[in-house]
Amino acid sequence: MDCRLNDPNVSVELFSKSGSMQEFQRVDLRTDSSVKQNGQNFTITGLYSKGREFSFRCKTDRQAGTPPLMKEVKAYRAPGLK
């Protein structure tokens, strides 16, 4: 997921929710082995084992005059995929 900003020094975090979850949860990169971060980009793998519908958000707080980032991507597992 491309979360790049004009300023590569601004910290970006990834949030996710799946299925019937009501709220987005911050992805803890230390414990979630399905997500890797490289700068302001995230690689997400292994969704097949976690449910059928997923939403991801990139977020950043206002830092050094940078407007807040809010980008959301939805992913769905294809029917019949095991």
Cβ neighbours of residue 14 closer than 8 Å, sequence gap 6 or more: 1, 3, 26, 27, 29, 35, 37, 42, 56, 57, 58, 59
Q: How far is CA 31 from CA 36, 39, 49, 60, in A?
A: 11, 18, 16, 20
**Number of folded domains that form the chain:** 1
81 belongs to a structural domain: no
Print the domain residue range for 18: 13-76
**pLDDT tens per residue across span 3-12:** 888 888 888 8
Helix, strand, coil percentages (3-state) for the chain, rounded to 5, are 5, 45, 55
Mean pLDDT confidence for 16-24: 82
For 27-82, the pLDDT digits (tens) are: 999 998 889 999 999 998 876 555 678 889 988 866 656 666 678 888 776 666 55
| 47 in any annotated domain | yes
